[in-house]
Structure 1
Amino acid sequence: MTTVTPEVLADLAPNGCLRAAINYGNPILAKRDPVTQAPTGVSVDMARQLASRLGAPVDFVTYDAAGKVVEGLQRNEWDVAFVARDPVRGKGIEQTFPYVIIEGAYLVREDSPIRSNEEVDQTGRIVVVGKGSAYDLFLTREITSATIVRSPTSPSVVNMMLAEGHDVAAGVKQQLQADVRRVPGLRMLDGRFMVIEQAMGTPKGREAGADFVKKFLYSMIESGFIASAIEAHGAGGALVASLPSGHGA
Protein backbone atom coordinates (compact mmCIF):
# COMPACT_ATOMS: atom_id res chain seq x y z
CA MET A 1 0.00 0.00 0.00
CA THR A 2 1.24 3.50 -0.82
CA THR A 3 2.71 5.37 2.14
CA VAL A 4 0.79 8.37 3.43
CA THR A 5 3.53 10.99 3.70
CA PRO A 6 3.23 14.49 5.19
CA GLU A 7 3.29 15.82 1.62
CA VAL A 8 0.32 13.63 0.66
CA LEU A 9 -1.66 14.80 3.68
CA ALA A 10 -0.79 18.43 2.95
CA ASP A 11 -2.14 18.00 -0.57
CA LEU A 12 -5.27 15.94 0.14
CA ALA A 13 -6.25 17.01 3.65
CA PRO A 14 -4.70 20.46 4.13
CA ASN A 15 -7.42 21.44 6.61
CA GLY A 16 -7.26 18.19 8.56
CA CYS A 17 -9.98 16.45 6.54
CA LEU A 18 -10.52 15.28 2.97
CA ARG A 19 -12.92 17.67 1.24
CA ALA A 20 -14.55 15.56 -1.46
CA ALA A 21 -16.60 17.22 -4.21
CA ILE A 22 -19.74 15.18 -4.97
CA ASN A 23 -21.76 15.96 -8.11
CA TYR A 24 -25.49 15.21 -7.83
CA GLY A 25 -25.79 16.18 -11.50
CA ASN A 26 -24.58 12.68 -12.37
CA PRO A 27 -27.18 10.47 -10.63
CA ILE A 28 -25.46 7.29 -11.75
CA LEU A 29 -22.60 7.99 -9.34
CA ALA A 30 -24.13 10.15 -6.59
CA LYS A 31 -27.51 11.17 -5.21
CA ARG A 32 -29.17 12.21 -1.97
CA ASP A 33 -30.49 9.53 0.33
CA PRO A 34 -34.29 9.96 0.21
CA VAL A 35 -34.57 9.60 4.00
CA THR A 36 -31.46 11.25 5.46
CA GLN A 37 -30.64 13.57 2.51
CA ALA A 38 -27.00 12.55 2.96
CA PRO A 39 -24.89 11.88 -0.14
CA THR A 40 -24.79 8.27 -1.29
CA GLY A 41 -23.45 6.42 -4.32
CA VAL A 42 -20.33 5.04 -5.96
CA SER A 43 -18.28 8.25 -5.73
CA VAL A 44 -19.34 8.73 -2.11
CA ASP A 45 -18.11 5.24 -1.22
CA MET A 46 -14.83 5.93 -3.00
CA ALA A 47 -14.34 9.20 -1.12
CA ARG A 48 -14.90 7.45 2.19
CA GLN A 49 -12.40 4.77 1.24
CA LEU A 50 -9.79 7.38 0.26
CA ALA A 51 -10.29 9.22 3.54
CA SER A 52 -9.82 5.93 5.40
CA ARG A 53 -6.55 5.34 3.57
CA LEU A 54 -5.40 8.80 4.61
CA GLY A 55 -6.52 8.32 8.21
CA ALA A 56 -8.56 11.51 7.94
CA PRO A 57 -12.27 12.36 8.21
CA VAL A 58 -14.18 13.17 5.03
CA ASP A 59 -16.23 16.30 4.39
CA PHE A 60 -18.61 16.06 1.43
CA VAL A 61 -18.90 19.26 -0.59
CA THR A 62 -21.97 18.76 -2.78
CA TYR A 63 -22.91 20.37 -6.09
CA ASP A 64 -25.87 19.95 -8.45
CA ALA A 65 -23.83 20.24 -11.66
CA ALA A 66 -20.36 19.30 -12.89
CA GLY A 67 -19.70 22.87 -13.99
CA LYS A 68 -20.24 24.02 -10.43
CA VAL A 69 -17.63 21.52 -9.22
CA VAL A 70 -15.14 23.22 -11.53
CA GLU A 71 -16.23 26.64 -10.25
CA GLY A 72 -15.74 25.38 -6.69
CA LEU A 73 -12.09 24.72 -7.49
CA GLN A 74 -11.59 28.45 -8.04
CA ARG A 75 -12.89 29.05 -4.51
CA ASN A 76 -10.65 26.32 -3.03
CA GLU A 77 -13.69 24.37 -1.82
CA TRP A 78 -12.43 20.81 -2.35
CA ASP A 79 -9.34 18.61 -2.37
CA VAL A 80 -10.56 15.71 -4.52
CA ALA A 81 -13.36 15.51 -7.08
CA PHE A 82 -15.14 12.96 -9.26
CA VAL A 83 -15.53 14.46 -12.73
CA ALA A 84 -15.52 13.34 -16.36
CA ARG A 85 -12.24 13.65 -18.20
CA ASP A 86 -12.09 16.65 -20.51
CA PRO A 87 -9.24 18.83 -21.79
CA VAL A 88 -10.98 22.02 -20.64
CA ARG A 89 -11.21 20.75 -17.07
CA GLY A 90 -7.67 19.46 -17.35
CA LYS A 91 -6.37 23.03 -17.36
CA GLY A 92 -7.06 23.40 -13.65
CA ILE A 93 -7.62 19.84 -12.49
CA GLU A 94 -5.07 17.04 -12.48
CA GLN A 95 -7.21 14.20 -13.82
CA THR A 96 -6.63 10.51 -13.30
CA PHE A 97 -7.22 7.72 -15.79
CA PRO A 98 -10.91 6.72 -16.01
CA TYR A 99 -12.49 4.35 -13.52
CA VAL A 100 -16.01 4.24 -14.99
CA ILE A 101 -17.32 4.56 -18.55
CA ILE A 102 -20.77 6.13 -19.12
CA GLU A 103 -22.60 6.68 -22.41
CA GLY A 104 -23.97 10.01 -23.60
CA ALA A 105 -27.20 9.90 -25.62
CA TYR A 106 -29.88 12.06 -27.25
CA LEU A 107 -33.61 12.23 -26.49
CA VAL A 108 -36.36 13.74 -28.66
CA ARG A 109 -40.16 13.92 -28.74
CA GLU A 110 -41.93 10.89 -30.15
CA ASP A 111 -43.13 12.90 -33.19
CA SER A 112 -39.72 14.45 -33.91
CA PRO A 113 -38.41 14.03 -37.49
CA ILE A 114 -34.96 13.29 -36.06
CA ARG A 115 -34.30 9.53 -36.33
CA SER A 116 -30.54 9.23 -35.77
CA ASN A 117 -27.64 10.88 -33.95
CA GLU A 118 -26.23 12.08 -37.27
CA GLU A 119 -29.38 14.16 -37.91
CA VAL A 120 -29.03 16.25 -34.75
CA ASP A 121 -26.36 18.68 -35.92
CA GLN A 122 -28.39 20.62 -38.48
CA THR A 123 -29.11 24.33 -38.85
CA GLY A 124 -32.21 25.43 -36.97
CA ARG A 125 -32.15 22.62 -34.43
CA ILE A 126 -31.63 23.37 -30.73
CA VAL A 127 -29.90 20.94 -28.37
CA VAL A 128 -30.31 21.29 -24.60
CA VAL A 129 -27.42 20.19 -22.40
CA GLY A 130 -26.49 20.61 -18.72
CA LYS A 131 -24.27 23.66 -18.25
CA GLY A 132 -20.62 22.72 -17.76
CA SER A 133 -21.27 18.98 -18.07
CA ALA A 134 -19.01 16.65 -20.04
CA TYR A 135 -21.68 16.67 -22.76
CA ASP A 136 -21.67 20.46 -22.87
CA LEU A 137 -17.89 20.60 -23.26
CA PHE A 138 -17.88 17.85 -25.90
CA LEU A 139 -20.78 19.21 -27.96
CA THR A 140 -19.42 22.75 -27.79
CA ARG A 141 -16.38 21.44 -29.64
CA GLU A 142 -18.22 19.10 -32.01
CA ILE A 143 -21.52 20.79 -32.95
CA THR A 144 -21.13 22.99 -36.04
CA SER A 145 -24.66 23.74 -37.29
CA ALA A 146 -27.19 23.21 -34.48
CA THR A 147 -27.54 25.62 -31.56
CA ILE A 148 -26.69 24.61 -27.98
CA VAL A 149 -28.65 25.96 -25.03
CA ARG A 150 -27.78 25.13 -21.45
CA SER A 151 -29.96 24.13 -18.51
CA PRO A 152 -28.72 24.84 -14.98
CA THR A 153 -28.17 21.12 -14.24
CA SER A 154 -28.09 17.87 -16.21
CA PRO A 155 -31.23 16.38 -14.58
CA SER A 156 -33.23 19.46 -15.67
CA VAL A 157 -32.36 19.13 -19.39
CA VAL A 158 -35.55 17.34 -20.47
CA ASN A 159 -37.82 19.67 -18.51
CA MET A 160 -36.18 22.66 -20.21
CA MET A 161 -36.45 21.04 -23.65
CA LEU A 162 -40.18 20.49 -23.15
CA ALA A 163 -40.92 23.84 -21.50
CA GLU A 164 -39.13 25.90 -24.15
CA GLY A 165 -39.98 23.79 -27.20
CA HIS A 166 -36.44 22.76 -28.12
CA ASP A 167 -35.57 19.81 -30.35
CA VAL A 168 -33.11 17.54 -28.53
CA ALA A 169 -31.96 16.77 -24.98
CA ALA A 170 -28.41 15.48 -24.49
CA GLY A 171 -27.10 13.76 -21.39
CA VAL A 172 -26.39 10.59 -19.40
CA LYS A 173 -28.11 7.73 -21.18
CA GLN A 174 -29.60 6.31 -17.99
CA GLN A 175 -30.93 9.70 -16.87
CA LEU A 176 -32.66 10.18 -20.22
CA GLN A 177 -34.09 6.66 -20.11
CA ALA A 178 -35.60 7.52 -16.74
CA ASP A 179 -37.12 10.66 -18.30
CA VAL A 180 -38.70 8.54 -21.04
CA ARG A 181 -40.38 6.46 -18.34
CA ARG A 182 -41.38 9.61 -16.45
CA VAL A 183 -42.80 11.67 -19.32
CA PRO A 184 -45.08 10.25 -22.05
CA GLY A 185 -44.31 11.04 -25.68
CA LEU A 186 -40.52 10.89 -25.62
CA ARG A 187 -38.03 8.53 -27.23
CA MET A 188 -34.28 7.92 -27.25
CA LEU A 189 -32.18 7.96 -30.38
CA ASP A 190 -30.35 4.69 -30.94
CA GLY A 191 -26.71 4.40 -29.94
CA ARG A 192 -24.60 7.07 -28.31
CA PHE A 193 -22.91 10.29 -29.36
CA MET A 194 -20.02 10.02 -26.92
CA VAL A 195 -18.49 7.95 -24.15
CA ILE A 196 -17.78 9.73 -20.89
CA GLU A 197 -14.69 8.68 -19.00
CA GLN A 198 -15.36 9.33 -15.33
CA ALA A 199 -12.19 10.12 -13.39
CA MET A 200 -10.94 11.52 -10.11
CA GLY A 201 -9.26 14.89 -9.94
CA THR A 202 -7.12 17.03 -7.67
CA PRO A 203 -6.22 20.71 -7.98
CA LYS A 204 -3.22 21.32 -10.24
CA GLY A 205 0.07 21.68 -8.43
CA ARG A 206 -0.53 19.07 -5.74
CA GLU A 207 1.78 16.43 -7.20
CA ALA A 208 2.13 14.19 -4.16
CA GLY A 209 -1.62 14.07 -3.67
CA ALA A 210 -2.29 13.45 -7.37
CA ASP A 211 0.14 10.52 -7.43
CA PHE A 212 -1.44 9.03 -4.30
CA VAL A 213 -4.94 9.32 -5.80
CA LYS A 214 -3.86 7.58 -9.02
CA LYS A 215 -2.41 4.65 -7.09
CA PHE A 216 -5.46 4.55 -4.83
CA LEU A 217 -7.76 4.47 -7.86
CA TYR A 218 -5.77 1.67 -9.46
CA SER A 219 -6.26 -0.41 -6.31
CA MET A 220 -10.00 0.38 -6.28
CA ILE A 221 -10.38 -1.02 -9.80
CA GLU A 222 -8.03 -3.96 -9.25
CA SER A 223 -9.66 -5.08 -6.00
CA GLY A 224 -13.17 -5.03 -7.47
CA PHE A 225 -14.29 -2.29 -5.06
CA ILE A 226 -15.75 -0.12 -7.83
CA ALA A 227 -17.55 -3.04 -9.47
CA SER A 228 -19.06 -3.97 -6.10
CA ALA A 229 -20.12 -0.37 -5.44
CA ILE A 230 -21.81 -0.14 -8.85
CA GLU A 231 -23.78 -3.31 -8.07
CA ALA A 232 -24.62 -2.24 -4.52
CA HIS A 233 -26.02 1.12 -5.66
CA GLY A 234 -27.78 -0.23 -8.74
CA ALA A 235 -25.78 2.09 -10.99
CA GLY A 236 -26.95 0.45 -14.20
CA GLY A 237 -25.09 1.52 -17.33
CA ALA A 238 -21.85 2.36 -15.53
CA LEU A 239 -19.03 0.10 -16.71
CA VAL A 240 -15.74 -0.31 -14.85
CA ALA A 241 -12.88 1.01 -16.95
CA SER A 242 -9.90 -1.16 -17.85
CA LEU A 243 -6.83 -0.98 -15.68
CA PRO A 244 -4.10 1.29 -17.05
CA SER A 245 -0.44 0.37 -16.94
CA GLY A 246 2.12 2.03 -14.75
CA HIS A 247 -0.03 3.18 -11.80
CA GLY A 248 -0.09 0.13 -9.53
CA ALA A 249 -0.11 0.83 -5.81
Structure 2
Amino acid sequence: MMTSLENPMPVTDEETTLRFAINLGNAVLAKTLPDGQPGGITVEIANKIAAQQGKVAQFVTYPTAGKVVEDANSDRWDVAFLAIDPKREEVLRFTRPYITIEGTVLVKEDSHWQSVSEMDQANVVINVGKGAAYDLFLTRELKQAALNRLPSSQAAIDAFLNGEGDMAAGIRQPLEHAAKENSGYRVLSDNFGQIFQAICLPHKNEKLFSEISTYLSKWQENGAIDEIINRNLAEA
Protein backbone atom coordinates (compact mmCIF):
# COMPACT_ATOMS: atom_id res chain seq x y z
CA MET A 1 0.00 0.00 0.00
CA MET A 2 1.38 3.41 -0.90
CA THR A 3 0.44 6.98 -0.08
CA SER A 4 2.27 10.09 -1.15
CA LEU A 5 3.32 13.23 0.66
CA GLU A 6 0.96 15.18 -1.56
CA ASN A 7 -2.09 12.96 -0.87
CA PRO A 8 -1.69 11.30 2.51
CA MET A 9 -4.29 8.65 3.29
CA PRO A 10 -5.32 7.90 6.85
CA VAL A 11 -4.24 4.60 8.29
CA THR A 12 -7.34 2.45 8.48
CA ASP A 13 -6.14 0.14 11.24
CA GLU A 14 -3.00 0.97 13.17
CA GLU A 15 -3.05 -2.50 14.69
CA THR A 16 -2.45 -4.18 11.32
CA THR A 17 -0.34 -1.65 9.40
CA LEU A 18 3.10 -0.18 9.85
CA ARG A 19 3.86 3.08 8.02
CA PHE A 20 7.23 3.45 6.30
CA ALA A 21 8.60 6.73 4.94
CA ILE A 22 10.32 6.00 1.62
CA ASN A 23 12.68 8.66 0.25
CA LEU A 24 12.45 8.46 -3.53
CA GLY A 25 15.13 11.14 -3.78
CA ASN A 26 17.81 8.50 -3.13
CA ALA A 27 17.78 6.42 -6.31
CA VAL A 28 20.27 3.93 -4.89
CA LEU A 29 17.85 2.86 -2.17
CA ALA A 30 14.37 3.43 -3.57
CA LYS A 31 12.60 3.89 -6.89
CA THR A 32 9.16 4.02 -8.47
CA LEU A 33 8.26 0.78 -10.27
CA PRO A 34 6.39 0.68 -13.61
CA ASP A 35 3.12 0.05 -11.76
CA GLY A 36 3.60 3.24 -9.75
CA GLN A 37 4.45 1.48 -6.50
CA PRO A 38 7.74 2.08 -4.65
CA GLY A 39 10.46 -0.55 -4.88
CA GLY A 40 14.10 -1.08 -4.10
CA ILE A 41 16.28 -1.80 -1.09
CA THR A 42 14.39 0.19 1.54
CA VAL A 43 11.02 -1.14 0.40
CA GLU A 44 12.20 -4.75 0.66
CA ILE A 45 13.63 -4.15 4.13
CA ALA A 46 10.38 -2.44 5.14
CA ASN A 47 8.36 -5.44 4.03
CA LYS A 48 10.60 -7.73 6.09
CA ILE A 49 10.14 -5.55 9.17
CA ALA A 50 6.36 -5.43 8.72
CA ALA A 51 6.18 -9.22 8.27
CA GLN A 52 8.26 -9.72 11.41
CA GLN A 53 5.78 -7.52 13.26
CA GLY A 54 2.83 -9.41 11.81
CA LYS A 55 1.65 -6.28 10.00
CA VAL A 56 1.23 -4.94 6.48
CA ALA A 57 3.66 -2.29 5.22
CA GLN A 58 2.11 1.00 4.20
CA PHE A 59 4.41 3.29 2.22
CA VAL A 60 4.40 7.07 2.47
CA THR A 61 6.65 8.36 -0.31
CA TYR A 62 8.72 11.52 -0.11
CA PRO A 63 10.71 13.43 -2.77
CA THR A 64 13.61 14.25 -0.41
CA ALA A 65 15.15 13.15 2.88
CA GLY A 66 14.66 16.61 4.34
CA LYS A 67 10.89 16.27 4.02
CA VAL A 68 10.99 12.94 5.86
CA VAL A 69 12.82 14.57 8.77
CA GLU A 70 10.37 17.48 8.82
CA ASP A 71 7.53 15.02 9.40
CA ALA A 72 9.34 13.02 12.08
CA ASN A 73 7.12 14.23 14.89
CA SER A 74 3.93 14.74 12.87
CA ASP A 75 2.67 11.14 13.07
CA ARG A 76 2.78 10.69 9.28
CA TRP A 77 5.06 7.64 9.43
CA ASP A 78 6.40 5.08 11.93
CA VAL A 79 9.74 3.98 10.43
CA ALA A 80 12.09 5.64 7.96
CA PHE A 81 15.39 4.99 6.17
CA LEU A 82 17.85 7.89 6.28
CA ALA A 83 21.54 8.68 6.47
CA ILE A 84 22.86 9.08 10.00
CA ASP A 85 23.58 12.72 10.78
CA PRO A 86 24.09 14.59 14.10
CA LYS A 87 21.42 17.17 13.24
CA ARG A 88 18.86 14.47 12.48
CA GLU A 89 19.69 12.66 15.73
CA GLU A 90 18.04 15.54 17.57
CA VAL A 91 14.66 14.11 16.54
CA LEU A 92 15.45 10.57 15.38
CA ARG A 93 17.01 7.43 16.81
CA PHE A 94 19.16 5.48 14.33
CA THR A 95 20.00 1.79 14.17
CA ARG A 96 23.42 0.55 13.12
CA PRO A 97 24.04 1.22 9.39
CA TYR A 98 22.72 -1.35 6.94
CA ILE A 99 24.66 0.08 3.96
CA THR A 100 27.46 2.60 3.43
CA ILE A 101 27.43 4.69 0.25
CA GLU A 102 29.95 7.16 -1.14
CA GLY A 103 29.60 10.91 -1.54
CA THR A 104 31.47 12.42 -4.48
CA VAL A 105 31.01 14.96 -7.30
CA LEU A 106 30.10 15.16 -10.98
CA VAL A 107 32.26 17.54 -13.04
CA LYS A 108 32.73 18.46 -16.67
CA GLU A 109 35.01 16.14 -18.63
CA ASP A 110 37.40 18.94 -19.59
CA SER A 111 37.55 20.58 -16.15
CA HIS A 112 40.74 20.62 -14.10
CA TRP A 113 39.13 18.92 -11.07
CA GLN A 114 40.87 15.67 -10.11
CA SER A 115 40.05 15.21 -6.42
CA VAL A 116 37.34 16.13 -3.94
CA SER A 117 40.10 17.73 -1.88
CA GLU A 118 40.03 20.56 -4.44
CA MET A 119 36.35 21.35 -3.89
CA ASP A 120 36.65 23.89 -1.12
CA GLN A 121 37.81 26.97 -2.99
CA ALA A 122 36.53 30.52 -3.22
CA ASN A 123 34.17 31.16 -6.15
CA VAL A 124 33.35 27.45 -6.51
CA VAL A 125 29.62 26.68 -6.59
CA ILE A 126 28.52 23.13 -5.77
CA ASN A 127 25.00 21.93 -6.55
CA VAL A 128 23.41 19.82 -3.82
CA GLY A 129 19.97 18.45 -2.98
CA LYS A 130 18.61 20.54 -0.12
CA GLY A 131 18.53 18.62 3.15
CA ALA A 132 20.34 15.56 1.77
CA ALA A 133 22.97 13.91 3.98
CA TYR A 134 25.79 15.25 1.84
CA ASP A 135 24.28 18.77 1.99
CA LEU A 136 24.41 18.60 5.79
CA PHE A 137 27.95 17.19 5.69
CA LEU A 138 29.29 19.77 3.24
CA THR A 139 27.58 22.59 5.12
CA ARG A 140 29.65 21.68 8.15
CA GLU A 141 32.90 20.99 6.31
CA LEU A 142 33.25 23.60 3.56
CA LYS A 143 34.82 26.94 4.44
CA GLN A 144 35.09 28.73 1.08
CA ALA A 145 32.97 27.04 -1.60
CA ALA A 146 29.29 27.94 -1.91
CA LEU A 147 26.45 25.42 -1.93
CA ASN A 148 23.66 25.85 -4.47
CA ARG A 149 20.72 24.04 -2.86
CA LEU A 150 18.19 22.56 -5.27
CA PRO A 151 14.84 20.91 -4.39
CA SER A 152 16.21 17.36 -4.76
CA SER A 153 19.36 15.39 -5.53
CA GLN A 154 18.22 14.80 -9.11
CA ALA A 155 17.43 18.51 -9.48
CA ALA A 156 21.01 19.29 -8.43
CA ILE A 157 22.33 16.99 -11.15
CA ASP A 158 19.91 18.33 -13.77
CA ALA A 159 20.82 21.94 -12.96
CA PHE A 160 24.51 21.14 -13.41
CA LEU A 161 23.85 19.43 -16.74
CA ASN A 162 22.02 22.60 -17.77
CA GLY A 163 25.03 24.77 -16.96
CA GLU A 164 24.32 25.78 -13.35
CA GLY A 165 27.17 25.49 -10.84
CA ASP A 166 30.74 24.21 -11.12
CA MET A 167 29.95 20.65 -10.01
CA ALA A 168 27.18 18.54 -8.52
CA ALA A 169 27.69 16.67 -5.26
CA GLY A 170 25.80 13.51 -4.44
CA ILE A 171 25.81 9.74 -4.17
CA ARG A 172 28.23 8.02 -6.52
CA GLN A 173 25.83 5.72 -8.40
CA PRO A 174 23.36 8.40 -9.63
CA LEU A 175 26.26 10.68 -10.57
CA GLU A 176 27.93 7.90 -12.56
CA HIS A 177 24.63 7.19 -14.28
CA ALA A 178 24.36 10.87 -15.27
CA ALA A 179 27.91 10.84 -16.63
CA LYS A 180 27.18 7.70 -18.63
CA GLU A 181 23.99 9.13 -20.11
CA ASN A 182 25.44 12.60 -20.88
CA SER A 183 28.69 12.96 -22.81
CA GLY A 184 31.17 15.53 -21.56
CA TYR A 185 30.95 14.68 -17.86
CA ARG A 186 32.85 12.49 -15.41
CA VAL A 187 32.75 11.56 -11.73
CA LEU A 188 35.79 12.02 -9.50
CA SER A 189 37.37 8.77 -8.37
CA ASP A 190 37.64 9.68 -4.68
CA ASN A 191 35.00 10.52 -2.07
CA PHE A 192 34.41 13.45 0.27
CA GLY A 193 32.76 11.16 2.76
CA GLN A 194 30.97 7.94 3.45
CA ILE A 195 27.24 8.13 4.06
CA PHE A 196 25.98 5.65 6.62
CA GLN A 197 22.38 4.70 5.87
CA ALA A 198 20.29 3.35 8.74
CA ILE A 199 16.75 2.65 9.87
CA CYS A 200 15.34 5.38 12.09
CA LEU A 201 12.35 6.14 14.30
CA PRO A 202 11.21 9.11 16.38
CA HIS A 203 12.71 9.03 19.89
CA LYS A 204 9.36 8.23 21.52
CA ASN A 205 9.10 4.82 19.83
CA GLU A 206 11.63 3.03 22.03
CA LYS A 207 10.03 -0.42 22.00
CA LEU A 208 9.70 -0.64 18.21
CA PHE A 209 13.20 0.76 17.79
CA SER A 210 14.63 -1.98 20.02
CA GLU A 211 12.75 -4.69 18.12
CA ILE A 212 13.86 -3.40 14.70
CA SER A 213 17.47 -3.12 15.89
CA THR A 214 17.32 -6.79 16.87
CA TYR A 215 15.87 -7.79 13.48
CA LEU A 216 18.56 -5.84 11.64
CA SER A 217 21.38 -7.44 13.61
CA LYS A 218 20.00 -10.91 12.87
CA TRP A 219 19.52 -10.17 9.15
CA GLN A 220 23.03 -8.78 8.84
CA GLU A 221 24.48 -11.83 10.51
CA ASN A 222 22.58 -14.33 8.34
CA GLY A 223 23.23 -12.42 5.09
CA ALA A 224 19.62 -11.41 4.36
CA ILE A 225 20.44 -7.70 4.16
CA ASP A 226 23.44 -8.29 1.90
CA GLU A 227 21.27 -10.39 -0.41
CA ILE A 228 18.71 -7.59 -0.76
CA ILE A 229 21.38 -4.94 -1.36
CA ASN A 230 23.47 -6.94 -3.84
CA ARG A 231 20.47 -8.08 -5.87
CA ASN A 232 19.02 -4.57 -6.15
CA LEU A 233 22.35 -2.98 -7.05
CA ALA A 234 22.92 -5.64 -9.70
CA GLU A 235 19.51 -4.85 -11.22
CA ALA A 236 20.06 -1.06 -11.18
- Same structural fold, with TM-score higher than 0.5 when normalized by the shorter chain: yes
Contact 1:92 1:203 in 2 (8 A): yes
- 1:139-158 residue pairs with structure 2 within 5 A? 139-158=138-157
Which amino acid is the alignment partner of residue 175 of structure 2? L
Moved over 3 A (4+): 13-16
Post-superposition shift, 1:111?
2.2
1:19 corresponding residue in structure 2: 19
| Cα deviation digits, residues 36-92 of structure 1 (max 9, x gap) | 111111111111111111111110011111111111224221100000100111110
Aligned 8 A contact 1:126 1:166 in 2: yes
Aligned partner of residue 103 in structure 1, secondary structure? strand
Secondary structure in 2 matching 1:233: helix
In structure 1, the partner of 2:4 is none
Corresponding residue SS for 2:131: coil
Asked if 1:216 corresponds to 2:215, the answer is yes
Structure 1 residue 164: deviation in Å?
A: 4.7
Query: 3-state DSSP class of the match of 1:73?
Result: coil
Report the TM-score, using the length of structure 2 for normalisation.
0.90
Q: Which residue of 2 aligns with 1:110?
A: 109
Over the aligned positions, Cα root-mean-square deviation in angstroms equals: 1.7
1:55-134 alignment, distance < 5 Å: 55-134=54-133
Number of residues of Structure 1 aligned to a counterpart in Structure 2: 224
Q: CA deviation at 1:14?
A: 4.8
Give the Å deviation of 1:217.
0.9
Aligned twin of 2:8: none
Match of 2:31 in 1: 31
The answer as to whether partners of 1:230 and 1:236 remain within 8 angstroms in 2 is no
Residue range with higher mean Cα deviation, 178-187 or 152-161: 152-161
Sequence identity percentage: 40
Structure 2: distance between partners of 1:114 and 1:73:
38
Q: Does the alignment pair 1:43 with 2:28?
A: no
**Amino acid corresponding to residue 28 of structure 1 in structure 2:** V
Equivalent residues of 2:179, 2:185 under 8 A apart = yes
Which structure 1 segments of 5+ residues have no match? 1-12, 238-249
1: CA distance, partners of 2:225 / 2:21: 18
User: For residues 150 and 235 of structure 1, do their structure 2 counterparts lie closer, same or farther at Cα, with a shift above 3 Å needed?
Assistant: farther
Aligned to 1:206: 205
Q: What CA distance in whole angstroms lies between the structure 1 residues aligned with 2:73 and 2:161? A: 33
Partners of 2:158 and 2:152 in 1: CA distance? 11
Distance in 2 of aligned mates of 1:223 and 1:160: 42
1:167-178 equivalent positions in 2, closer than 5 A: 167-178=166-177
Q: Does structure 1 conserve the Cα–Cα contact (< 8 Å) formed by 2:16 and 2:54?
A: no
Structure 1 residue matching 2:82: 3-state secondary structure: strand
Contact 1:28/1:236, CA 8 A, preserved across alignment: no
The equivalent of 1:165 in structure 2 is 164
Gaps of 5+ in 2: 1-12
